[in-house]
Amino acid sequence: MAAAARVVAALALLITVVSSWSAPASAAGTGPCDIYASGGTPCIAAHSTVRALYGSYEGSLYQVRRSSDNTTRNIGMLSAGGHADAAAQDSFCAGTTCVITVVYDQSGHGNDLWYQGSSVVPGSSQSSPAKATTESLAVGGDKAYSLYINPGNSYWRDGHLTGVPTGTGPEGMYMVTSGTHVNGGCCFDYGNSETTRKADAAGAMDAINFSTSCWFGGCSGSGPWVQADLEWGLYPGGSQSWNPNQRAFTNRYVTAMLKNNGTTRFAIKGGSAQSGGLTTLWDGGLPSGYNPMKKQGAIVLGSGGDCCKPGGGANLSAGTFYEGAMVAGYPSDATENAVQANLVAAGYGTSSGDSGAFPGGYHSLVVGNDGLCLDVFGNTSAAGAAIDQWSCNGQSNQQFQFVAGSNGYGELQAQNSGLVVGVSGGSTAQGSPDIVQQARSGAASTMWKPVQQSDGSWSFQNQNSGLCLDVYGAGSNQGQQLDQWPCKNAAGTNQDFIPR
């Protein structure tokens, strides 16, 4: 079958899938790597903590390791070709903390991504695996977890003998990331990198970068942007000058794409992974000095190419990885458009739980009567730390997300620790400043129902006691702790929280 015909067939299949969708929880037998294969550019690496990237994949997605006994568990899917079995992780990690040690390659090439610092990929003393429970999300109605990269976390694989293009070999890649967890540190990348883990030469890398880094200066705005890390620089387009077609992607879920024919041409694209199509940011010649490319065939995720080997320092970047793949060959625009349609149809951010329509993602929660923010006291990750109110500062100990459970209840998870807001000791008494952060356990005392008020603010009713999250004594001082109190169900009180 000619390449064009294969693309048409893939598009027809996708259109059939989308038009017959009764619920977005199923990929209906096709995934991004099925689409790439139909376009003549098969995946040579496919990674996700969220879902299968092939309609028939039925292996493990990733592995977690818990701190209590250092045992590991592979996390698979709810069904072949489906979404991650987050409940298996929740059960395994209950009452302790877990990290993600490896993200498995679904393509069959064995290009698994182990964390730098592991026994498989030795790394610097500053390198460590990402926490497994920092961010949960809903995809097509099912709960999943992201690979939430913070400075010090990164993953790597030498794939030059297992299908990853080298030299001038053409390739393409995509990832789904987030515009809400980024920084300007070097370098939140996914793609082709050096096998030496050194900055060897211009063209030794060919990776997507998503960050607020303005490498050569002259940038417009503050990002984050989809750029190309080609080594010795992050390129917004075909030169070191700012590309006027660039734009920031601040969406909760972002599609980032890059393709490079290895000799003359590359293209950068971006879009929302929840709706719409792709924006072509650059499609043209390679920068001066990068023709031909000198790709080495390693795969990096979360750091630059010259990072994290023993004695080599640590990753400085922050970013979120949900899924991504690398392909051999130069994908057509039609193939990439079909992949984007598949991502939109996957239902990122679509929850089947009744969360009272509370907005997804991390937010500051501003107290209705005094303008202070819900806060983990002392910015600590220790279990048992008090939940208080403090001047809003945007730090991660003031960022909370609602993780939907069942019957409208769910957890309030702190970004800085991955722990959840609960009532100490499971008490049902009112008026005691006993609200703390705790390990996730599913206990009713850690489950809250968001109830929207007339001004758009929210109160949170505890499942165990039926009482509402409350600033103790209605005090307006910094450091005032929280308690639970009979629900007032009125706007502008010490029980109302405004997500920002």
CA contacts within 13 A on the Cβ side of 399: 15
With b meaning 16 or more CB within 10 Å and e meaning fewer, what string describes 367-391? bbebebbbbbbebebeeebbbbbbe
229 catalytically annotated: no
Joined tokens for residue 169: 């070999």
**Rounded CA gap, 36 and 342, in Å?**
11
| Side-chain half-sphere exposure of 104, counting CA atoms within 13 A | 20
DSSP state of 304: -
| Coil, helix or strand at residue 16 | helix
Tracing tokens 């329509």 back to the chain, one arrives at 357
For the chain, the maximum distance between any two Cα atoms, rounded to a whole number of angstroms, is 73
Give the C-alpha distances (Å, rounded to integers) separating 245 from 225, 226, 296, 317, 448: 11, 11, 29, 24, 44
CA–CA distances in Å: residue 480 to residues 7, 234, 433, 472, 473:
60, 45, 9, 7, 9
Task: Please answer whether residues 460 and 449 qualify as being in contact, where contact means their C-beta atoms are separated by less than 8 angstroms.
Answer: yes
DSSP per-residue codes, 185-245: STT-EEEEE-SSSS---TTS-EEEEEES--TTS--SSS--EEEEE-SSSEESSSSSS--TT
List the catalytic residue out of 105, 142, 158, 231. 231
Among 306, 388, 411, 496, which one carries the catalytic annotation?
Answer: 306
Name the nearest CA neighbour of 331 among 46, 105, 3, 54: 3
Two structure tokens written together for 208: 């997507």
Cα–Cα distance measured from residue 80 to residue 27, given in angstroms and rounded to the nearest whole number: 10
The set of residues, in sequence order, having a beta carbon less than 8 Å from that of 370 and lying 6+ positions away, is 389, 471, 476, 494
Task: Give residue 261's identity as a one-letter amino acid code.
Answer: N
Residue in 440, 431, 416 with CA at minimum distance from that of residue 469 = 431
Q: How far apart are the C-alpha atoms of 439 and 421, rounded to whole Å?
A: 9
Q: How far apart are CA 350 and CA 165, in angstroms?
A: 35
User: Tokens standing for 118?
Assistant: 């592991």
Residue 306 is among the residues annotated as catalytic for this protein: yes
Q: Which residues are catalytic?
A: 231, 306
